Amino acid sequence: MSKRAFNFCAGPAALPEPVLQRAQAELLDWKGKGLSVMEMSHRSDEFVSIAETAERDLRDLLSIPANYKVLFLQGGASQQFAQIPLNLLPEGGKADYIDTGIWSKKAIDEARRYGGVNVAASAKPSDYFCIPAQREWQLSSGAAYVHYTPNETIGGLEFGWIPEVGEVPLVADMSSTILSRPLDVSRFGLIYAGAQKNIGPSGLVVVIVREDLLGKARGGCPTMLDYKVAADNGSMYNTPPTFAWYLAGLIFQWMKEQGGVEKMGEINERKQRKLYQAIDASALYNNPIAKADRSWMNVPFRLADERLDTPFLAGAEARGLLNLKGHRSVGGMRASIYNAVDEGAVDALLAYMAEFEKEHG
């Protein structure tokens, strides 16, 4: 095993070391073919097998129903902010959005370019420290869909529940929570997730869309952004991000070897619980998010004296604890503890936090 740092980056995030080692071993010669995955045709039998296996493993992990298409697309979640209304929001139509932080606000702003947007609920009155209760939501009549962000990566605010929206398709940006625990996909019309948290490297986005929502793209939708075109062509209307797709497939296999999303959920629950317990018991560190709405994947915390931020980060880096600086928009610290960040990394962070508090508290 190599000497690797503990990486708490929010994204691109840590990848499982066994996956990196396997990719390294196959980099020059994939299964005796004498070439890299990056060099083979996406139309070849070899790559089609890689793609089909990746989709099958993802379907197994999330128990995706047969009436859902799984798309492996270029770009990231931010492109989906436009692609979703182009496909699901008819001309002159409207959609409901829930505002819980920076990423949901970006989705709202982009959707407004294509049609009416009703912000049915907002966490702004609480300074984005708690999720608005569903009884307070003002959902529209005749909305094309309801969009929400289950986990706000920057603010660390997370839904612990799935909204009830009746027959209206529920659309979710699961970039930072997908595969972190079991999920009932059948509750959603569309799920999208940028890969660079729990799926793989950046440049790839996974879309899971119910089949009845395909074929509704507006006339001005570019062909490349039409979900039905992507589905009809097996996500290969053009050359896809082959290496990212291959790595995602390796991660799906690694997850199945770990025990699947059920086991990952158990591990992730322990990781976040011990980290929040230490923060709550501390006189130096604090987390402002309502306890019921705290993120499992992204744990922001502040030091009581901001002047300690710089020495804290320097000491962390010296101990191989990397990328703990909070997002520039909120400051403080943030530990992103995705699937590939094991309990040993969290324990090392907790030991350092205790040591730093003893010296500076």
Phi and psi of 6, rounded to 5°?
A: -85, 115
Q: Residue 230: in which H helix or E strand, if any?
A: helix 227-232
Q: How far apart are CA 358 and CA 361, in angstroms?
A: 6
Residue pair 280/287 in contact (Cβ under 8 Å)? The answer is yes
Residue 60 known to be catalytic: no
- Candidate list 96, 173, 226, 293, residue with the active-site label: 173
Query: Is the preceding peptide bond at 12 cis, omega within 30 degrees of 0?
Result: yes
Judged by DSSP in three states, 170 sits in: strand
Residue 103 known to be catalytic: yes
Instruction: Return the closest-CA partner of residue 241 out of 26, 54, 74.
Output: 74
DSSP structure string for 117-134: EEEEEESGGGTTSSPPPG
Strand partners, 116: 94
What's the one-letter identity of residue 274?
K
Q: How far apart are CA 232 and CA 259, in angstroms?
A: 32
DSSP tag of 140:
P
Residue with tokens 């530990």: 335
From first CA to last CA, the distance across the chain in angstroms is 36
Strand partners, 6: 321
Q: Which residues are catalytic?
A: 103, 173, 197
